[in-house]
């Protein structure tokens, strides 16, 4: 199957420069361009011409509708108001044991990996809010506790501040004559 004279092309099998016609063959499913001596190593094939969609006469610019920018997601107020209990690992382990479940049973119920449940019970990781809610529901325990606001220390300001309190004024020595 002669494909035509090709200059400066190397055979995909032997690597020598193809002198004369180049042949297109399939060798174990791979499409290759080969020389006459390597042609017998594969089966000849013809590339089917690719069909291109008909070109439209429309050459204008298409404007897409403007998508409004999204504001950054804010945490819901109920998420902001809760913290995870400090002894969450003990609470999860005790709750699971009270129900007589294995760690694998709990992992299956909350649709989480066994390794995650193991790490939560050892305290190596703390569960996110969504997993806390699932664990609370399945184990009938309380993991999310109301956030304790730490009051910031208030500094008492003097009743009245004058400019003299802020800036030191260097006065003229007594007895000096003014110009």
User: 3-class DSSP state for residue 122?
Assistant: helix
| pLDDT, position 153 | 64
The DSSP 8-state label assigned to residue 74 in this structure reads P
64 within 8 A of 93, measured Cβ to Cβ: no
Alpha-carbon distance 162 to 87, whole Å?
A: 52
Alpha-carbon distance 31 to 113, whole Å?
A: 45
Domain edges within the chain: 1-46, 77-146
- For the chain, how many residues are written? 179
Query: Nearest-5° angle of CA 151, CA 156, CA 159?
Result: 150
Per-residue CA distances from 74 to 64, 86, 145, 150 (Å): 29, 25, 20, 22
Q: Which of 117, 116, 124 is nearest to 92 (CA)?
A: 117
- Mean pLDDT value across residues 158-175: 63
More confident residue, 176 or 166: 166
Locus of tokens 């995650």? 116
**pLDDT for residue 36 is more than 60:** yes
122 within 8 A of 132, measured Cβ to Cβ: no
- Mean pLDDT value across residues 158-163: 67
Structure tokens at 17: 């420069």
Place 1 in a pLDDT band, splitting at 50, 70 and 90: very low
pLDDT digits (tens, 9 = 90+) for 112-144: 999 999 999 999 998 988 999 999 999 999 988
Burial zone of 114 (CB within 10 Å; 0-12 exposed, 13-18 middle, 19+ buried): middle
12 within 8 A of 32, measured Cβ to Cβ: yes
Superfamily (CATH) of domain 77-146: lambda repressor-like DNA-binding domains (1.10.260.40)
| pLDDT, position 73 | 55
Alpha-carbon distance 38 to 14, whole Å?
A: 7
């Amino acid at each position: 199957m002669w494909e035509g004279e090709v200059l400066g092309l190397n055979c995909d099998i032997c690597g020598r420069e193809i002198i004369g016609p180049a042949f297109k063959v399939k060798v174990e499913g791979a499409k290759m361009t080969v020389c006459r001596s390597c042609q017998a190593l594969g089966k000849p094939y013809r590339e089917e011409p690719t069909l291109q969609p008909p070109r439209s006469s429309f050459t204008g610019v298409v404007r897409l509708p403007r998508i409004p920018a999204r504001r950054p997601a804010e945490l819901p107020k109920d998420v902001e108001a809760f913290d995870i209990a400090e002894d969450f690992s003990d609470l999860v382990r005790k709750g699971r044991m009270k129900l007589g479940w294995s760690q694998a049973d709990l992992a299956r119920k909350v649709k989480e990996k066994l390794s995650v449940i193991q790490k939560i019970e050892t305290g190596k990781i703390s569960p996110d809010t969504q997993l806390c809610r699932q664990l609370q529901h399945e184990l009938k325990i309380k993991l999310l506790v109301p956030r304790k606001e730490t009051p910031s220390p208030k500094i008492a300001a003097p009743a009245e501040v004058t400019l003299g309190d802020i800036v030191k004024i260097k006065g003229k020595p007594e007895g000096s004559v003014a110009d």
